[in-house]
Structure 1
């Protein structure tokens, strides 16, 4: 005897349950209409900052080698001072650029985490829906109504819901 929880709901169009499956199963079988909402991500590029820091550190290494070689050859005192100051400036600049890049990553992570509550809500809604392959409709078994294309799009594009985002961003500030 099957429990009521495991019983498939009936389609509101054909009133049968034999071709009904979850939206996850429908998506796995190739029905792209039943695609889940994409998990929020943000790509913060670090390559340019890391490359700039590598060049600055390379300059520092070169200047230190020149400075050490200049000690044996009676390198002029003002030139040595200029090399030391330039090396210190390059090191401090590399540290400042690294700090800035790290802050960009943290800011990007905070912006993405503001979308997680809206994504969780969209996923919960999506997981409760079913798909009837006979009628090719997505429906909500709780209301026993067909889900429109606009509703499917709205759930997939949960990032465009400004109220949820403003509330989440205010909580992180």
Structure 2
């Protein structure tokens, strides 16, 4: 018969298991330094693009609705062509601005995707950690090593993990040459 005993994790300082918690449980119980890594997000300012495109569309609607309602057909042909050309240009400009805004969003998403493997690594590190309430220490149960606050911040930092990934990729490329 298979036993379903849960192996207790011992604190490396006091060598007891009664006050040891996973980092996630300790964070839920108020140990704020054990906050999980934050998911990387791209913050892209789009308001200026939206305002400009809306203004151009409003100008086009103004030309079409207001001027056409004032019997534009009685105006000289040059004015009619100018109004139509300006309206078409405003619509095209709004489309171009919308396209540029879309490109910015895509670039932001691509930049965020570069950080996702580092985020996964930081989250994996966080899930491995334990906290001893008695000794107020954080440790890695796999290595039984106590983690200082500086090491903890470094382990859970997405930016640090991105730098480590870039260094390992550069080392792999230099070994291939």
TM-score normalised over the length of structure 2 = 0.86
- Contact 2:125 2:156 survives alignment (8 Å): no
2:144 alignment partner in structure 1: 144
Residues 65 and 24 of structure 1, relative CA distance in 2, 3 Å threshold: same
Q: Is there any run of 5+ residues in structure 1 with no aligned partner, and where?
A: 168-173
State the shift of 1:163 in Å.
Answer: 4.2
2:20 alignment partner in structure 1: 20
1:164 alignment partner in structure 2: 165
Q: Distance in 2 between matches of 1:94 and 1:115?
A: 32
TM-score normalised over the length of structure 1 = 0.88
The 3-state SS of whatever aligns with 2:110 is: helix
- Aligned length, in residue pairs: 165
Q: Distance in 1 between matches of 2:164 and 2:142?
A: 25
The 3-state SS of whatever aligns with 1:30 is: coil
State the shift of 1:47 in Å.
Answer: 1.9
2:76 alignment partner in structure 1: 76
The 3-state SS of whatever aligns with 1:139 is: strand
Q: Is there any run of 5+ residues in structure 2 with no aligned partner, and where?
A: 170-177
The 3-state SS of whatever aligns with 1:91 is: helix
After TM superposition, the structure 1 stretch with the greater mean CA deviation from structure 2, 62-71 or 30-39, is: 62-71
- Contact 1:22 1:130 survives alignment (8 Å): yes
- Contact 2:37 2:156 survives alignment (8 Å): yes
State the shift of 1:151 in Å.
Answer: 1.3
2:114 alignment partner in structure 1: 114
State the shift of 1:76 in Å.
Answer: 1.4
1:91 alignment partner in structure 2: 91
The 3-state SS of whatever aligns with 1:130 is: strand
2:175 alignment partner in structure 1: none
State the shift of 1:32 in Å.
Answer: 0.7
The 3-state SS of whatever aligns with 2:138 is: strand
Q: Deviations over 1:61-113 (max 9, x none)?
A: 11112442354661111111111111111011000000000010010001001
